[in-house]
Copies of this chain bind each other. A is one copy, B any other.
Amino acid sequence: MSEQQTPVQLRHLCRSNQFSQQTSGRCPGYTQANLVILPERDAYDFLLFAQRNPKPCPILEVTNSGSRRLHDFAQDVDLARDFPRYRIYQQGKLVAEPLAVVDYWRADLVSFLIGCSFSFEAALLQAGIEMRHITEQVNVPMYNTNIVAKTAGRFHGNYVVSMRPIPENQVVRAVTVTEQLPQVHGTPLQIGNPAALGITDLARPDYGDAVTIKPGEVPVFWACGVTPQAVVMQSKPEFVITHAPGHMLVTDIKDQDLKYQL
């Protein structure tokens, strides 16, 4: 499959179930998005959670109730079909992993598009900073932390962070590059001291895979988009749809234009 597809072409392939793989590396330069779909009755608490915790939960767009369309991040989009794969949870239990959620759709569903670290990794790579997990072809290592998110209604929990080893002489650059991207987690939360976050062993991440940390490299921690999903699941909502991990929506917005979407 060519990587020269446009975002709308890739979405059409998803829509017809011809593409159901992970989206990492697809349509380079275009913003990819995480998904959380909740019934209206939980939507206010979730939006408030995001307002109070913008670093782990950067909202790109929220749909009107029942709508499967977007206004800002994509034209020609069907949110119930254009992700390559979904997950359906009932009472906090994974019950299905379909290629479309048309059959599960309800008029009271609100979709939240959430920023994805692919966007800031593209910016870091462009600034000449190696992403070790990409080099080693594994998932980024993620860790539970002792940072308590601000509670909103039924949603509460702790931050999850992702870690990237950065050479000492590139740490400042990693901060200034990600400062430009507040809509995808922004600046790091912590530089160099995992214990300050309650992380005891970098070799044993809670999600994703461990990566090599070379001499002269510093572990740098960013708020992670797994946080909102972990927080939602913890509250065992009656019904929630998410994307399957790594199976994102590719939007029409370029990463370099993200900061102007504010």
Contacts and interface: CB of A to CB of B under 8 A. Distances in A.
Interface of A: 43-44, 47-48, 50-52, 54-55, 59, 62, 64, 71, 150, 153, 182, 186, 262
Given A150-B71, A186-B262, A51 B47 contact: yes
Give the number of copies in the complex. 2
B54 A262 contact: yes
10 contacts: A43-B44, A44-B44, A47-B47, A47-B48, A48-B62, A51-B51, A54-B262, A55-B262, A182-B182, A182-B262
Most buried by B among A47, A54, A55: A47
Most buried by B among A44, A50, A153: A44
A41 B51 CA distance: 18
Contacts of A59: 51
A18 B62 CA distance: 44
Contacts of A62: 48, 51-52
Nearest to A45: B44
A185 to B, nearest CB: 11
A64 B50 CA distance: 14
Nearest to A186: B262
A148 to B, nearest CB: 12
Nearest 3 A/B pairs, CB to CB: A44-B44, A47-B47, A54-B262
